[in-house]
Chain A
């Protein structure tokens, strides 16, 4: 069938604009599919492999101190397989006259025999010797600080300096995504890294003789974490347990998992959205083509072409477009994984993440694209079967012409120009095509809305968090919970400080029936001005004198509402109250985008814990100029654990998030392109379908612009319906994203700001307008005399 193939190619060539647009939409779908799928597969493979190789723990225990000699005995608890005790300490790097603070988290290890849980993988150099001052450092910290093997690092631990020789680089499964605190949102290897240090050296330095403060364990295959946790809580009660949490709550793992799950949901939805838009385009285009070539089809049938030959010919349009889009999109998607993987390598220190060419996803992507294309072509092509050759030779009976429902709105109808009336009628005359266009536009509109809402999300996670909620400038964390009065008094006399507030952060387990969640309760001053609890409108919510405020996501997880009572249990609760679990009433539910917390008045929280006046940090409002002096004066004070300047973190995070802005607008851009393709296709169809009608209008003396209005009024009407349908769709999409992407680290805001809706309306309208401009060019070039002279 060489001639039919030639016919196919020439027809595609003469309408290349539409077909090209369609190929690009398919490509976008395929790029998202192959690149996300390959990245997911690579990450999962690397994760599984690394976790298995290093025996990554299933459970984590943080406590004040536990006898090292007793650790092995924990393995005898039912459900625990292997167990390992370590000392974990953050230490600051000592630098001569340097302002910035760099920290290393020291993990004690026994290097003579690899631990049974949470091993490390040696990347370069050699293992430290147990009795020497040698350490392993994570490779990202090394690279970010231009360190080399053999360098000496001086650390400040418990107020004392000690030097270590870097003998190797190593990676642990615990710190694939290494953040100092969960509030940081992203790792900064230039200021924070991990170091592995011989057990004996750290024991000597940390004065934790015979004690460990961190235990990790693996579970036996059938064991449930919750059961094991109950046993552990009982056995560890006297040792000041701060938290016992499963792998799922471990920061690095949780971030990696949340990235994977958001990638998965992207890989499942985005390709479908774009392929569906492409399918709509192909379907309407092919349907029109077949209607238009009805006589040709009759002719082919008269010659003796079989139905199969004719159907295959018309199916070859979508299959060719789907095939080209599929292969190009698949290849582009695979190519894209290489730069994307290097971005992932920036954030995740996961060995074995390399990308490679994937025949599997090229093939799967092609199959996906071809099935969508085939599906879009099948319905229209099968109509050919029903066409009797003798009937096909006659022009189709004209579509019924009656009043459209729109015309009943006489007030509105009479105000439309005649071109407008023609356009509206046309929209109602081919209802299936119109419905498809409306659905397509709704999807495109909601993609744009979500893209713009991302901007809001980024703002909520950064600027809003740092400028409206955490209004303090500096936070000084104490080594241990305790009275902060003396420190506050001392600080009050420091230059530049204008306001001070204590903050009490308490790990708690909140329970409502079988719903349970471990979080940090923040104890704040009643009239706190340095940490503001705000409602959705950004207005201050007063901290109640009793009871607790919960973040929205936490309230959902616990299934509680305002007025409900929840069980609260904390390791900081005094012993004599241990068996009597406390209850607190939920006084309010507030939005929280960064972190997952409960909030209480600091005095009420201390009372609840049966503790005196205690705090864990001091929040400070002060002159920015005086911060460096304050830092250098207090950072090595014995009571002080950490000094964090909000401004520094805010700057870093905002800078980092700014690069996300590009991604956001890129999404909007490709959605806009899909909108363009959809409308351009519809224009081309309208043009070819009604060229005689339009040519007659031109002959009557209408200008090209006026003729264009016949087509555009139809499109604006459909776009309007698309936007109306798109608004609830956007809310649904965002709610689904919020559900799947929110973690304990951050929650995705599910409200759509007005500016996002307006932006999406503007973006959608722009893509329609551009498509119409292309159409205008076609109308201007239309040779109307020739059209009217040719036979129908």
Chain B
């Protein structure tokens, strides 16, 4: 398998007035194409910061980050925007759907800027929402809204899907529905998925689990036999 992402000595320091806070303290990692990675860590461990850097949302303070040999740390704002546009799909804990666009329209919104988008109907079908295409977010349940958000992230046909606590706001049943949708994308379309969570149960479905602790990559655990979402419990 080819290396999709490679981080070398990634550091991130936040400056708040006089005080410097080092959130990431030199991370080294490699992520392969088609992997399902779960990043586990407590609040404040630097999970979201890492995800933002990997997603091109904010640059690292120092260190090198490569996406298919392309140095992301050297890109300017415009280059990062293009990277996000073409390579990355985001799924957030709060679905952040446009409230006055329907499910299908929210997905189309993302499709419009993609170079090679997937058909909107097909993506909605894949996340199990074909029947809900014309509903506004307020008419959908939390799980359905999150699946719209997933559809919106993958419609651009990105190689990399970044999910920030996608089940954080959901109950177990709807959470499992969402995870099933993600797994399907990973298995059927070979999408690389990085999912961050503080829920260790979810890590059981990953190929590899990154344990993040106090800004450092504490350890990496390889799951020889990832569990299907149905078998998870929390």
Choice from B77, B100, B109, B156 contacting A11 with Cβ under 8 Å:
B100
Smallest CB separation, B29 vs chain A (Å) = 19
Say if the beta carbon of B141 comes within 8 Å of chain A: no
Tell me if B101 and A6 are in contact (CB < 8 A). Answer: yes
Does A333 sit at the interface, judged by CB under 8 A? no
Please indicate the chain A residues that have their CB under 8 angstroms from the CB of B77 in the complex: 307
Is there contact, CB below 8 Å, between A305 and B101?
Answer: no
Contact B84 A302 (CB under 8 A): yes
Q: Considering the complex, which residues of chain A in the window 1-18 have a beta carbon less than 8 Å from any beta carbon of chain B?
A: 1-4, 6-7, 10-11, 14
Residues of A contacting B81 in the complex (Cβ-Cβ under 8 angstroms): 301, 304-307
Q: Given that A2-B108, A3-B108 are contacting pairs, would A302 and B55 also be in contact in the complex, using a CB cutoff of 8 Å?
A: yes
The reply to whether the CB of A662 lies closer than 8 angstroms to some CB of chain B is no
B153 to chain A, nearest CB (A): 8
Which residue of A4, A11, A296 is within 8 Å of B96 (Cβ)?
A296
Contact check: which of B57, B92, B113 meets A305 at CB < 8 Å?
A: B113
Contact with B along A373-410 (1 / 0, CB 8 A): 00000000000000011110100000000000000000
Q: Are A7 and B113 in contact (CB under 8 A)?
A: no
Q: B113 and A303: CB pair below 8 A?
A: yes
> Do B156 and A303 have beta carbons less than 8 Å apart?
yes
Interface of A is mostly: helix
Contact of A303 among B52, B78, B100, B110 (CB under 8 A): B110
Contact A299 B86 (CB under 8 A): no
Besides the contacts A14-B100, A304-B113, what 15 more A-B pairs have beta carbons closer than 8 Å?
Answer: A2-B112, A3-B98, A3-B109, A6-B105, A7-B98, A299-B96, A302-B55, A303-B90, A303-B109, A304-B83, A305-B81, A306-B81, A307-B81, A389-B57, A393-B92
- B-side residues, CB < 8 A to A, are 52, 55, 57-58, 77-78, 81-86, 88, 90, 92, 94, 96, 98, 100-101, 105-106, 108-110, 112-113, 152, 156, 169
- What are 12 of the A-B contact pairs (CB < 8 Å)? A7-B101, A295-B94, A301-B81, A303-B152, A304-B83, A304-B113, A304-B156, A306-B85, A389-B84, A393-B92, A393-B96, A791-B169
> How far apart are A394's CB and chain B's nearest CB, in angstroms?
9
Taking A301-B81, A304-B81, A304-B86 as contacts, is the C-beta distance between A3 and B52 under 8 angstroms? no
Residue of A nearest to B88 (CB): A304
Return chain B residues, CB-CB under 8 Å to A301.
57, 81, 84
**CB closest residue in chain B, given A304:** B85
Q: Would A3 and B112 count as touching, CB distance under 8 A?
A: yes
- A390:B57 contact, CB within 8 angstroms: yes
Residue of A4, A298, A303, A390 with highest tally of chain B CB at under 10 A:
A303
* A396, chain B: closest CB distance, angstroms: 15
The residues of B that contact A388 with a CB separation of less than 8 Å are: 57-58
Q: Which residues of A contact B96 (CB under 8 A)?
A: 295-296, 298-299, 393
Q: Which residues of B contact A306 (CB under 8 A)?
A: 78, 81, 85
How far in angstroms is the closest Cβ of chain B from A18?
16
CB distance from B83 to the nearest CB of A (A): 8
Task: List A contacts of B101 (CB < 8 A).
Answer: 3, 6-7, 10
Chain A contacts of B108 at CB under 8 A?
2-3
Smallest CB–CB gap between A312 and chain B, Å?
13
Are A4's CB and B109's CB within 8 A?
yes
Q: Which 5 A-B pairs have the closest CB atoms?
A: A304-B85, A3-B109, A304-B84, A10-B100, A390-B58
Chain A residues near B106 (CB-CB < 8 A): 3
Complexed CA–CA distance, A298 and B57 (Å):
9
In the assembled complex, the Cα of A649 lies from the Cα of B152 at a distance in Å of: 78
- With most chain B CB atoms within 10 A of its CB, the pick from A11, A302, A389 is A302
Please tell me if the beta carbons of B98 and A389 are within 8 angstroms of each other in the complex: no
| Complex CA–CA separation, A390 to B169 (angstroms) | 20
Query: Which residues from A are CB-within-8-Å of B86?
Result: 304
B84 & A303 in contact (Cβ 8 Å cutoff): yes
Task: A390 to B23: give the CA distance in the assembly, Å.
Answer: 14
Cα A270 to Cα B52 with chains together (Å): 51
Complex alpha-carbon distance, A301 and B105, angstroms: 17
CA distance A176 to B55 in the complex (A): 76
Q: Which of A7, A10, A309, A791 contacts B94 (CB 8 A)?
A: A791
CA distance A4 to B100 in the complex (A): 10
Min distance, Cβ A386 to any Cβ of chain B, angstroms: 12
- Give the Cβ gap from B97 to chain A, nearest Cβ, in Å: 9
The closest CB in chain B to the CB of A8 belongs to: B100
Contacts of B152 in A (CB 8 A): 303
Q: Given B82, B90, B100, B169, which contacts A302 in the complex, CB threshold below 8 Å?
A: B90
Contacts of A305 in B (CB 8 A): 81, 85, 113
Most buried by B among A1, A7, A389, A791: A389
B residues less than 8 Å from A2 (CB atoms): 108, 112
* Neighbouring A residues of B109 by C-beta, 8 Å: 3-4, 7, 303
**Chain B contacts for A307, CB-based, 8 A:** 77, 81
Bitwise interface map of A from 273 to 308 toward B, beta carbon under 8 Å scored 1, else 0: 000000000000000000000011011011111110
How far is B85's CA from A309's CA once the two chains are assembled, in angstroms? 12
Chain A residues positioned under 8 Å from B57 (CB to CB): 301-302, 388-390, 393
CA distance A10 to B112 in the complex (A): 18
Tell me, in angstroms, the Cα distance from A301 to B56 when the chains sit together: 10
> Residues of B contacting A3 with CB < 8 Å?
98, 101, 105-106, 108-109, 112
B residues less than 8 Å from A390 (CB atoms): 52, 57-58
A220 to B33, CA, bound (A): 92
In the complex, the chain A residue whose C-beta lies closest to that of B162 is: A302
- Give the chain A neighbours of B85 by CB distance below 8 A: 303-306
Q: Are B98 and A304 in contact (CB under 8 A)?
A: no
Minimum CB distance partner of B104 in chain A: A3
CA distance A390 to B162 in the complex (A): 13
The answer for the CA separation of A72 and B90 in the assembled complex, in Å, is: 94
Q: Which B residues touch A295, using CB under 8 A?
A: 94, 96
Q: Complex formed: what's the CA distance from A3 to B112 in Å?
A: 8
A304–B80 Cα gap in the complex (Å)? 8
Instruction: Give CA–CA (A391, B58) in the complex, Å.
Output: 9
Shortest A87–chain B CB gap in Å is 79
Q: Which of A47-65 contact B (CB under 8 A)?
A: none
Give every chain B residue within 8 A of A304 (Cβ-Cβ): 81-86, 88, 113, 156
Interface centre among A1, A390, A791 (most CB of B within 10 A): A390
A299–B97 alpha-carbon span in the complex (Å): 9
Q: Once bound together, how far apart are the Cα atoms of A10 and B94, in whole Å?
A: 22
Task: Select from chain A the residue with minimum beta-carbon distance to B153.
Answer: A303
Query: From A389, which residue of chain B is reached at the shortest CB distance?
Result: B57
Enumerate chain B residues within 8 angstroms of A4, measured Cβ to Cβ.
109
Nearest B residue to A295, CB-CB? B96
Q: How many angstroms from the CA of A6 to the CA of B98 in the assembled complex?
A: 11
Which of B88, B109, B152, B156 has the most C-beta atoms of chain A within 10 angstroms of its own C-beta? B109
CB distance from A16 to the nearest CB of B (A): 13
Nearest Cβ in chain A — how far from B101, in angstroms? 6
Q: Is the CB of A296 within 8 A of B98?
A: yes
Q: Residue on B with the closest CB to A395? A: B94
User: How far does the alpha carbon of A307 sit from the alpha carbon of B85 in the complex, in Å?
Assistant: 12
List, in ascending order, chain B residues with CB within 8 A of A391's CB. 58
Known: A2-B112, A303-B85, A306-B81. A7 touches B100 (CB 8 A): yes
Binary interface encoding of chain A residues 455-494 relative to chain B, with 1 for a CB under 8 A from any of its CBs, else 0: 0000000000000000000000000000000000000000
**Once the chains are docked, how many angstroms separate the CA of A6 from the CA of B104?**
12
- Measured CB to CB, the nearest residue on chain B to A1 is B112
Complex interface: chain B residues within 8 A of A389 (CB) = 52, 57-58, 84
> Given the complex of chains A and B, what is the CA–CA distance between A1 and B112 in angstroms?
6
How far is A295 from B55 in the complex, measured between Cα atoms in Å?
Answer: 16
Chain B residues, CB < 8 A from A10: 100-101
Q: Produce 1/0 per residue, A640-680, CB < 8 A to B.
A: 00000000000000000000000000000000000000000
**A75 → chain B closest CB, angstroms:** 77
Contacts of A14 in B (CB 8 A): 100
